Chains A and B, each alone.
Chain A
Amino acid sequence: MSTMGTPGARGRFGEFGGRFVPEALMPACLELEGAFAEAWADPAFVAEFHDTLRLFGGRPTPVTPLARLSERLGLRVYAKREDLAHTGSHKINNVVGQTLLTRRMGKRRVIAETGAGQHGVATATAAARLGLECTVFMGEVDTKRQELNVFRMELLGARVVPVASGSRTLKDAVNEALREWVTCVADTHYCIGSVMGPHPFPWMVREFQRVIGDEARAQLEDLGVGVPEVVVACVGGGSNAAGVFAGFVDTPARLVGVEAAGGSAIGHGSPGVLHGMRSMLLQDEYGQIEEAQSISAGLDYPGIGPEHAHLAATGRAQYVAVGDDEVLGGLTLLSETEGIIPALETAHAVAWVARAAGRELAPGTTVLINLSGRGDKDVAQVREMLRGDA
């Protein structure tokens, strides 16, 4: 397989990936693999996907030169503006693709997990547009942290199921969605929110997200920048990172994924099997999964997509971590210098660039940050945090 190409029938990225699901779900995974491969090779489906992103999803999103931030950091920084996509993050790309595929497969309902609520809102949005029934599983801790997003999903006609098992965050929402999927797989698609889970999900979601990187590559050409020296994205499961990396993996650009320090599967994890995939995971010495800890619900995940585990193992991409304390600085920095309030997840990428400027990033380095989402959903939480600081 070429780097970020099509994984083979086993869905492997080096030693990672695969399919670790109960037999009850295997026929659905095989069906999905066939349906996606066929749809993605069908120009009519691909055209419908891109038309929907254009007419409904707000694409293309611009690449914005960040002049004042660049001056402040001594770098040349550009931002790919996924915060301007419909529903406020890159998540819309994936759900438009998966809901179109759901309809093509003749299924009438989608289920999804969500952490911050962004993927849940995006799924509810795309489902409403196609008239699909939608149920979203969300950890109880997150339904409290992101109350407004729960209401948004309900406004969009979705049912939100709070998950009280385990750590009551994203990891358990995925467990619960998988358990639900077993019971309804005949007429329901599991619209997974990141480049994780069993094959073909990591591959399929990356392909739906690669529009980020493909667009940005052409836009930077048009701006006369050419290929940036560094491409940076935050990483929870890794879908926005995979999407932007896919556009630059065949260039000399250095690829950097920024994990939350408390959810750093590459930095502190080891290989294991969770949620249908073999990847890098936070786990104890007995293989029990540990809980991630992050102020951003969307990065509160003890694993990472298997393709990232592979990119890390081969050295093609580098993964770094940013602590909760630095994130707020990244958020206020971008807000004050550029008039863009990023999501807390996204602020991790900004914070790393700020930290690395003048150190790992030599003065004048050209950097593309994938601005995965806007910060509206986090404003109340940020206010609490800033008050706490004062």
Chain B
Amino acid sequence: MKNLNNDYLNKFCSHIYIERAITAHPRTQKILAHFPHATVVTIDHYKDVFCRSRQSYPLQHGSQNLILAEKKGTLLYEGAPVCQSFGNQYFYYTSCMMNCIYDCEYCYLKGMYPSANLVIFVNLEDYFHEVEQMLKQHPLYLCVSYDSDLLALEQTVGYVKEWCDFVQTHENLKLEIRTKCASTGMVGQLAQTKDVILALTMSPQKVITSFEHHTPSLDARIAFTLKLLEAGCAVRLCFDPMIYLPGWETYYGQMIDQIFMHIDVNKLIDVSVGTFRISQDYLKKMRKQSPDCAVAWFPFQNENGYYHYPESLMEQMESFLTNRLAEQLPKEKIFRWTDN
């Protein structure tokens, strides 16, 4: 956000809200230890803070606080229609964390959540239990990093490691960990198995600089991909969402050149391509909260409650990138998003 004097705002996680019932939980204590100077506020239920009315997402993001809670009720959800299933029949996602430390202008979380504060659910065992129940019925392809970027908070929370350990002892379970993080120091901690797919979002540097605030650069993401591949991890590159901006063809073309130059793309398990799309309700909220956000104010086309770029532009952008990728990748490895 422009013109906000950040000197007036509290630092990241200056306050931590903790549900009374999980104050003594070992994960609560472990996370708290990372923030020795934070002020702790005890609450009854995370929604008492997270779901207050009239919150300002952009302002809160400038001074994000943490809420530690216990998630009750449903823990696994069927994949949403706007998400890519990669041909998996039993495609589910789960949210053991809500919100993200990064600040992508186009992020649907801005339209989905009433608050920008981070929520971490400490009862990971309950998630594991629900996964085990589901595995008794059928195999599972589970995305664990949709409503957050788990890897970006790994040093503090350690959930990626816990999920990786869980996968190693469970058959028929495949995880996708979506991230923009590029911390090469973490590579050793990640599972080197085909059942944990590290899905790195790739964007042209111009898009990163303009819209993906506080995220690693394209160079850093490429370097991270290389390290992961070297370590034997299963890596997917996600060119999704592609964001329109004047000169997009040049920027996306340069990005592909750069990737081809450094990465042997045939070592990737696959890639995904898709232009930006979002539910109309989320976009409405995003526009209200961020009147100056160009990505959100694009004159989209509305189709059955979802906004996307005009058909011709969408086709142009996705075909361009798919064709460029097809120069070095077999077609079966390129997943282009479709809504049917």
- A and B interact: no
